[in-house]
Amino acid sequence: MREIGEITSHAVVGAQEEPRATGKARPFQLRRRERMPTSVRGKAPVMRVKSKQDRPERGEAIEFNRPDAGDSGDRDVWLAQIVESSGDAIIGATLDGVIVSWNSSAERLYGYSAREMIGSALSLVIPSVRGDDPVHLIEQVAINRRSAPGKTICMRKDGKQIAVLLSISPIRSPEGRIAGVSATARAAQESKGEAEELRRGNEELVRTVQNLEQRNREMSLVQQLSTLLQTCLTAEEAHPVLEQSLAKLFPAGPGALFEWNSSVNLLEASVKWGESRVAEAVFAPEECWALRRGRAHRVADPSTPLLCAHLAAVASASTICAPLMASGETLGVLTVQGSPNELSEPKDVQERLLAARQQLTETVAGHVALALANLKLRENLRAQSIRDAVTGLFNRRYLDETLPREIHRASRDERNLGIIMCDLDSFKEFNDTHGHAAGDSLLRAFGELVGKVVRAGDIACRYGGDEFVLILLDTALETAKRRAELLEQEFKGLVIQYGDMFLNPGSLSLGVSAYPIHGAGAAPLLRVADEAMYRAKAAGGNRVVVGQKPE
């Protein structure tokens, strides 16, 4: 099979042989044949070009002399000049993708000269067409399939990318065999409609990528919030976590988290963020549309009558209220406000921003509601495990856990610790006379009295039956004795109302001990206080007795 260079060798008149040390194919060099046309038609093939004055008018046929078939030299020169003067880039290549011809239009389109490109790989300037590499395209051409024009992106010599329309056709030898390929390329001209469509597509793509990045960032913050809430032990500990995280999730405007206070049937703001604190601090549940409907309620225009009543005095932008619901129970509501600047945006932009914010608000509300429900359940279980159901004071289990810890802390800080053990005199007779319900009323009344007498940091526990233990932190023995005497005096004035009866609670016996005077452990301190209390009861009750120092 003859190569493409052999096929077109007749078009090279006076071609200069170059050394092949570089391994590149010999470039085509075209030189006009110095031949004077003859006036005798038929003796020599001549193409007669009319002068400017002799050019025909529009519609008049152009007359030219066709070269004779026998004179192949003039015909090849004529064809080579047509290729060279073409406005399209025409590139000849062998079947293995090596460039063997490169016209001037190719030089203008790609920026490479013929000397630079002849002998180089075709893939240098034609990387791909619709996903097919040049080798694949040449294989298609080799089986007599012409590559339809397609748009592709090519690289110029200066590094600039250009869009070109490219087609590849086979070049056949005189024997009819495919000896090479011809690639025709021209710069792709985009219409205004295509350019506008491309611009809109690019803007939509950029917006989609930005939305995805924003969504990923928000989901990462929600995951961090959920993890932090799971490590919180109480709702009070969760409030600072919520304030910091919600400010990051909703930076456009202020917001607040309201929790349900069932005792007064009101919603109270437990978390607020933003420069202007949004909404009232306390409001009734009927003032919020989201709580009425049981679903998120959003308002794009703050002047609408559908704005929640608790936001009417402060809302200056779009608002979203999402109820906090878990296990069928309403725990509160999450209120988020947008930026007032959003009201100047086009309606479609406002709607898109509001829809995205509502989706995020509902997601966050679900996570927060579940976390608060878990914390509430944990607190209830914890209270049931350490609180006495009748008096509301701590129980024996909590005493056993807390007293050794407080003694260790007093020892480390070199401080005192007071212990008071109390017993309700004649409680058994009171209970037998008036019944167990009246006895429970007496125990509850005493629990309330103890809560008023002891300090906030002190620990009051029901030790068992009608006996109670008070742990007085950082309290010396004398101070503990005075506190016991105060409690005994207050108990005398206590009146128990049971039904329509007012009952006398009786008297109180108290024993006092202190660390480190009466011991360095929980058991010695409780034993000394208990012995002192029984001495008080043996003496007739209604008194305070200080424990004896160990010998």
Catalogue all structural domains in the chain, each as residue range(s) with its CATH number: 4-187 (3.30.450.20), 198-382 (3.30.450.40), 396-546 (3.30.70.270)
In the prediction, which pLDDT does 13 show?
33
**pTM score of the predicted model:** 0.56
Instruction: Tell me the C-alpha to C-alpha distance, in Å, between residue 93 and each of 97, 101, 182, 183, 443.
Output: 6, 7, 6, 8, 106
**pLDDT value at 67 more than 60:** no
Q: Where are the beta strands (DSSP E) in 242-361?
A: 255-261, 266-273, 282-283, 297-299, 319-326, 329-337
Q: How confident is the model at residue 529 (pLDDT cuts 50, 70, 90)?
A: very high
Beta strands 508-515; 543-546: pairing state: parallel
- The tokens describing 518, both together, are 């009466």
For the stretch 24-60, pLDDT in tens is 444 434 333 444 343 334 443 444 444 444 444 444 4
Question: How confident is the model over 93-133, as pLDDT tens digits?
Answer: 888 888 999 999 999 999 999 999 999 988 887 765 444 55
In degrees and rounded to multiples of 5, residue 325 shows phi and psi of -130, 135
State the chain's maximal CA–CA distance in angstroms.
Answer: 159
Paired residues of 182 in beta bridges: 92, 169
Query: Would you state the pLDDT for residue 136?
Result: 66
Count other C-beta atoms under 10 Å from residue 48's C-beta.
11
pLDDT tens readout for residues 437-459: 999 999 999 999 998 888 888 99
Among the listed residues 384, 488, 506, 388, the one whose alpha carbon sits nearest the alpha carbon of residue 442: 506
CA dist 170 and 177 (Å) reads 10
Report residue 182 as tokens.
């011809």
Return the higher-pLDDT residue of 1 and 220. Answer: 220
pLDDT at 150 over 70: yes
Which has more pLDDT, 551 or 373?
Answer: 373
Mean pLDDT calculated for residue range 464-482: 93
